[in-house]
Structure 1
Amino acid sequence: MKVLITGGAGYIGGTVATILKSAGHDVTVLDNLCHSKRDEVPVGVNFVEADIADRVAVESVLRALQPDGVLHFAALIEAGDSMRIPEVYFRNNTASTLALLEAMHTTGVKKLVFSSTAAVYGEPEVLPIAETAKLAPTNAYGESKLLVEYMLQWFNRIHGLRYASLRYFNVAGALPGRGEAHEPETHIIPLILDVALGRREKIFIFGEDYDTPDGTCIRDYIHVEDLAAAHILALDALNKEDKIICNLGNGQGFSVKEVVEAARRVTGHKIPVEMKPRRDGDPARLVASSERAKEVLGWKPQTPKIEDILKSAWEWHQQRYPKQ
């Protein structure tokens, strides 16, 4: 199989690229390296440094490659940041994806797996969240992704684009040699592990007055390898299905305080905490129903326990940042 992966130097895209390459597939990564480095591109893949907004460059790659499909991960992902500079998120996540879709249509590439998000649901009315739930994002990041989903529906209806939109929840964990690290880092698990490594003094928890048992936000965590497997299954399923919309999660939630406690058990470190006010746009609970993914893709998480997810991340972080 021949695949183009946008954002393939990043955490999730790079994990998918690594797994596909190790399985013998022909993988090309397209990334502008705005939040990653050249040495983070998986070994052995073809690499093109370009922005998906550059339609001429993307068309050139697609014409030369003629891939079986595109796995689209390139995006900005920080919900809190999107409430400060929403225009940047709509430009990078929504408008740039339109340029990619136009390039695919022009070059006749008909299959896309889209990295969507649970943020399209906003504050859920019923848990666990099913794909039929109301779509009402509470932040510009979620809205920027939902607008892409609307575009995909119309490209499917009018141009025959076959697509899978995978709405995932909090991704964490690591493969041997590849894990989660952003610059700047805003995701809770790598931040917590930085504290355990002595790279940060403490972890900040934003809000302890939510309507949850311990007052902190509850999220559904999924191991990055399970997530990667779902993308590969989705690309294959598009040979039969012309449109797939699936949640990807474990179906159980953990509060921020519970994640900190689990990290303390895994690392053996105290991990000091400081409470902060709520951030704009953070829903109290996000927990997935992944029944449709199991039914349509034949997918099931292999690493559902938060301790096991944290353990894989901890092993990688210790290798990446050995204590001096």
Structure 2
Amino acid sequence: MEALHIQGIQMAESLQQRTMSQEKVWLIVTHMGDPKAAFLLFFPLSYFTCRRTGVALLWVAAISEWLNLVFKWMLFGERPFWWIGESRLFVNNPPKVQQFASTCETGPGSPSGHAMVTAAAWWVMAASLGSSLYSRTHSVLLSALPYLLYAGMLLAVGLSRIFILAHFPHQVVSGTVAGLVLGVVLSRRVPEGRPLLFFVCCSMGLLLGALLLHAGLEQLGVNLSWSIALAEKWCAHSEWIRLDTVPFSSLTRDCGALLGLGLAQYWKPGGWSLPWAPRALCVALSSMGLYHINRLPLPIRPQTLFYSLFFLKFAIVPQVVMVLVPGLVHLLTDKKKKD
């Protein structure tokens, strides 16, 4: 592994030296590949394009991020920004690399969550768009374009994670492969129209399953907070360490989103039927609403309160996208038609 890590540092150094002028582009790409972007950005966009695709994307994103958390707890992957210092291999000849505000994530590094969740969630969109294009045009070439864009975006996200020293190349590759497999498998069975009890059981099952695994590993003497200590030690700026990058934050996000998905389908089975123009308005309003919900400051002490509120925040997301905003737009457009 040491040779693999050294090669990864060399690749990151070369990438930074050659493309530092595109720093802002890399940072935008890495934010687009953030798992929470699947919930806050791509979910409303896909939902108002095709209801089934939106439900599938949220389902796939939540399950794949939960599995990524489990894999990270089991694999103990290093991250480049702390491995450089911990390895003591570069004391006399430190690599010419720099950190960024997005670098200092606190969870283990393997496999890459950005690559894994992005590959899984974006597969849903690519497959849906490709199928739609083929049914309309019967052109294999046109229907292949979403898959080419999918591959190109995954490559860009992977390189961005290497560029900012968040992951080694092999972590990006393993995350991408795992995400692709999950996207293909999970998108075949979309829980559209399932009863609320199904989502309650999924949400609580994933939450309790992760907590039991965590407790079991701790009982075996495994320190699952090791990565947090290293991130705090080697991060260039302490303010770059954020509680929403801690593994338990992703856990509460996934469980909250699944419960919210069940509640949204319970409140309004089948969703709202809207023409294309009101749907575009729904995308804009939902995106604005989720942007402000995401910006809501949460108290970080006590941490139990933070995680509880984080859970509620992402349980609200499907309500906004699937119930509140389309319901409001339907009410306004229907009233306008009657007038």
User: Which TM-score tier does this pair reach, normalised by the shorter chain?
Assistant: under 0.3
Is the radius of gyration larger for structure 1 or structure 2?
2
TM-score, reference length from structure 1: 0.27
TM-score, reference length from structure 2: 0.26
Higher helix share: 2
Greater relative contact order (CA < 8 Å, ≥ 6 in sequence)? 2
